[in-house]
Amino acid sequence: MTTLYTADHEWLRIEGDVATVGVTDYAQSQLGDVVFVELPKIGRSLKKAEAAAVVESVKAASDVYAPISGEVLEVNDALAAEPALVNSDAAGKAWFFKVKISDKSELGGLMDEAAYKAHTA
């Protein structure tokens, strides 16, 4: 399993040809208390950098972008029911969606953990 990060503060965990996508702990700390999450529809085709989901907090609403192109296989219904999971477990239980990767070459522009930490420093 490999975890990569985007400049827009999404993380993705890659297992085979499936990526699980969420927002980073840094992103949730900037948002504040999350009160609503809108997830993509299962079966939706996403293009890299396309808005895929929405997260709303008491401070702002933000798009969650697809870090890679592919088809949405699964969404985290628990997150829709309990948006505050984003604040309590951004890198774990608060994943947003799983996508079947259509072009692994798109992973090339993403950051590893060390590069992401430097990006947010």
Mean pLDDT of the chain: 96
Q: How far apart are CA 40 and CA 59, in angstroms?
A: 22
* Secondary-structure class of domain 2-102 per CATH: mainly beta
- 119: pLDDT confidence band, cut at 50, 70 and 90? very high
- 62: pLDDT confidence band, cut at 50, 70 and 90? very high
Q: Which pLDDT score, from 0 to 100, does residue 1 have?
A: 86
Give the total residue count for the chain. 121
Q: Which pLDDT score, from 0 to 100, does residue 34 have?
A: 97
Which helix H or strand E contains 41, and what residues bound it? none
Q: Is pLDDT at 40 greater than 90 in this prediction?
A: yes
Domain positions in the chain: 2-102
109 — phi, psi (to 5°)?
A: -85, 5
